[in-house]
């Protein structure tokens, strides 16, 4: 069993998330076999300044790249990195992500996309472990909490969300594929499946949908795209053209 690939073997994650929840979640993804590219600001991750030993432990096995995302050349370099990735993880405020064009880049490259935020009700409000613990009554003044519980739980929540988004991307291909299309192309996710098989089918599924979309899902575009593929592929595309896309 030691020769078996890990669950995320062949998956590339790009993380922009600094401080504790993001690095801890990224470390967990490394444990699951993912290749993680950790993009930090030029000054580095603040976690490395506060607790360098823990930072080193969490960043182990990751590729660390320092980029200034407000610099045009560095932002272009990030886009090159994202072009080869499967998932983007951030911990900026959603409004900052928008200003940096991160959601658009994730959509452009068909990535699973996860934002670590403090509150779903107020996603742009800043906060830290201590303020969240105070809000929920786990701080008893004047003592400080013994553990950063909010950060630790946030990291586990981020990890599970990353896994769920990667699975959704694998099944549905984000916004560029259709339920049932991968199965029609012959994907069998049984015990003998390998990541290369999944990647090949995903690429074919995306190409088929892109071809149909380019032809505005006309009957001729669908038939041209389905040509040379199993009959079930044509059935899925024809159903999509009449029942899903409109």
Q: How far is CA 42 from CA 106, 214, 235, in A?
A: 22, 41, 51
* Model pLDDT for residues 150-197, shown as the tens digit of each residue: 888 889 999 999 998 888 777 665 544 455 666 677 766 554 555 556
* Model pLDDT for residues 74-86, shown as the tens digit of each residue: 999 999 999 999 9
What is the value of pTM for the model shown?
0.70
What integer pLDDT is reported at residue 175 of this predicted model? Answer: 41
Q: If pLDDT is split at 50, 70 and 90, which confidence band does 227 have?
A: very high
3-class secondary-structure state, position 14: strand
3-class secondary-structure state, position 198: helix
What integer pLDDT is reported at residue 53 of this predicted model? Answer: 96
Distance CA(157)–CA(126), nearest Å, equals 18
Distance CA(92)–CA(74), nearest Å, equals 17
What average pLDDT does range 203-226 have in this prediction?
A: 88
Tokens representing residue 79 in the block: 């886009």
* Model pLDDT for residues 14-67, shown as the tens digit of each residue: 999 999 999 999 999 999 999 999 999 999 999 999 999 999 999 999 999 999
Contact between 113 and 86 (Cβ < 8 Å): no
Answer with the residue of higher pLDDT: 224 or 178: 224
How many residues can be counted in the chain?
246
What integer pLDDT is reported at residue 176 of this predicted model? Answer: 45
Residue 6, pLDDT > 70, answer yes
For residue 99, the number of C-alpha atoms closer than 13 Å in the C-beta half-sphere is: 9
Residue 144, pLDDT > 90, answer no
* Model pLDDT for residues 122-137, shown as the tens digit of each residue: 777 777 777 877 877 8
């Amino acid at each position: 069993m030691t020769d078996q690939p890990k669950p995320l073997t062949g998956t590339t994650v790009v993380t922009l998330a600094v401080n504790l929840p993001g690095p801890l979640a990224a470390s967990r993804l490394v444990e699951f076999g993912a290749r993680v590219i950790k993009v930090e600001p030029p000054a580095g991750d603040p976690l490395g300044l506060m607790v360098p030993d823990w930072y080193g432990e969490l960043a182990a096995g990751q590729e660390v790249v320092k980029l200034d995302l407000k610099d045009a050349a560095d932002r272009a370099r990030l886009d090159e990195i994202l072009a080869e990735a499967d998932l983007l993880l951030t911990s900026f405020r959603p409004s900052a992500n928008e200003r940096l064009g991160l959601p658009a880049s994730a959509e452009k490259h068909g990535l699973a996309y996860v934002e670590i935020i403090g509150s779903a009700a107020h996603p742009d409000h800043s906060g830290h472990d201590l303020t969240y613990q105070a809000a929920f009554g786990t701080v008893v003044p004047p003592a400080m909490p013994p553990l950063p519980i909010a950060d630790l739980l946030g990291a586990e929540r981020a990890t599970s969300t990353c896994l769920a988004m990667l699975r959704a991307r694998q099944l549905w291909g984000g916004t560029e594929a259709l339920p049932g299309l991968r199965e029609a192309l012959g994907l069998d996710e049984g015990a003998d499946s390998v990541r290369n098989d999944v990647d090949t089918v995903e690429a074919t599924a995306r190409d088929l949908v892109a071809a149909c979309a380019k032809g505005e899902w006309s009957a001729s575009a669908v038939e041209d795209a389905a040509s040379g593929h199993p009959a079930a592929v044509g059935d899925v595309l024809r159903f999509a053209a009449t029942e899903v896309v409109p």
